[in-house]
Amino acid sequence: MAVLCSYVVIGQTVQCTRRLTDAEDAFDQGRLQDVLDALDKKGDAKDCFAAFTIDERIRAEKLLTKAYLFTDNPAEAEKSLVDLLHIDKEHQLAKDDPAELHHLYSQFKTEPIFRIGFRAGVNKSFVKVLQNFGNTQVAKQYNGAGPNEVGIGVGFNVEALIERHIKNGIEVGTGFQFRSASYEFDASFIPGLENDFFITGKNRSSMLRVPLLVRYNFNYDKKTADGIRLNKMWYVFAGGSFDYVIDAQYVNTARTGGTAFTLNAPKNSLTSAGDNNVSQVARSNGSIFGGGGLKIRFGRSKVDFITFEVRYDNSLFNYIDPENRYANKDLNIDLGFVEDDLTINTVSFSVGYTKSFYKPSKRKEYR
């Protein structure tokens, strides 16, 4: 039975392909009514539209559009064109397509109504100290700059943005980003005795961010001499972000010297473990950012993108809540560590995928 079914399907496909070829021949010979009869979706051709390959459907819809145009049936031509654009987003007309088709095409919105971009990547923090606090005879050193082995402040980030093209390659976008950023510190109490008495640790924060960006895509509408859109597109962007610290905590934070002391849970939390159960970090913050990247067209229609992006985030406000800097005695006294006023700036590299969404329709001025 299975063999029989396969035979039936293959037979139907072959018939439909022949039907489309015959229709194209009829169009070339000016037998437009034969085209419309052969590709009548409500008639014999109904099953064929289900059996066509994608390319065949594109050829069929385009052929129908032209046939309707030349039989003075603009309403059906528009329907066919919309069907075509549903199948082949941003369908690119050939230079030798009839002028009537180009004219009709120009009356329709063929660009995406929005895009959704997903990106994931790694970041490295750069601490900018606004004011030193604590034992400043020996300044704190961040991200591996000190004599003891601490990390370089690596984190990760994922984001989902909804983007919209405005014009001339300019896009705006907004969405959500989750960023885990950390900075690692190395501090000593006593000049000259850094190897005997020191504090090492990591401050790791999880942040929900709401970025708003403007992006400029170079050569957004540029095509090759053959009328084909460029496969790669460089871009730059800049924007601002509202940042909210979901959670922050110290990881592997300890003092060497005397009786060694390690800051353990729950006292290692910066968002809730102060002696008065207050946050030692500013939960709300803001930042500006900018960067650049490369989009590579992806998928059959070449309207989605794989992206590679480098970005610099410049936090605007103090990460530490100055009112609660000393809220955790285990940190300030047992460990002997007092946070500076600082901002966490990051450089990130991410890889992403951008999906385009369409709703083909006639432009307002042509309705």
Give the footprint of other proteins on this chain (CB under 8 A).
128, 130-137, 189-190, 193, 196-197, 214, 216, 236, 238, 255, 257-259, 261, 288-290, 312, 314-318, 322-323, 325-326, 329-330, 332-334, 336, 338, 341, 343, 345
Q: Which residues contact 19 (CB under 8 A, 6 or more apart)?
A: 38, 39, 45, 48
How far apart are CB 351 and other proteins at their closest, in Å?
22
**For residue 26, what is the enclosing H or E element?**
helix 2-28
How far apart are CB 220 and other proteins at their closest, in Å?
12
Residue 102 or 329 with smaller CB distance to other proteins: 329
Give me the residue label for tokens 């942040």.
Answer: 207
Three-state SS for 309? strand
Tokens representing residue 225 in the block: 């001499």
Question: Quick one: DSSP state of residue 334?
Answer: I
Residue 9 or 236 with smaller CB distance to other proteins: 236
Residue 52 or 250 with smaller CB distance to other proteins: 250
From CA 135, how far away is CA 337, in angstroms rounded?
A: 8
Torsion over CA of 168, 174, 179 and 182, rounded to 10 degrees?
A: 70
Residue 65 or 188 with smaller CB distance to other proteins: 188
Residue 78 or 321 with smaller CB distance to other proteins: 321
Residue 116 or 130 with smaller CB distance to other proteins: 130
From CA 347, how far away is CA 156, in angstroms rounded?
A: 11
Partners of residue 174 on adjacent β-strands: 162, 212
How far apart are CB 243 and other proteins at their closest, in Å?
13
How far apart are CB 169 and other proteins at their closest, in Å?
9
Residue 25 or 323 with smaller CB distance to other proteins: 323
How far apart are CB 292 and other proteins at their closest, in Å?
10
From CA 354, how far away is CA 299, in angstroms rounded?
A: 11
For the residues of 280-300, what is the DSSP string, one character each?
SB-SEEEEEEEEEEEEEEESS
From CA 95, how far away is CA 61, in angstroms rounded?
A: 18
How far apart are CB 316 and other proteins at their closest, in Å?
5
Cα 180 versus chain centre, distance: 17
How far apart are CB 177 and other proteins at their closest, in Å?
17
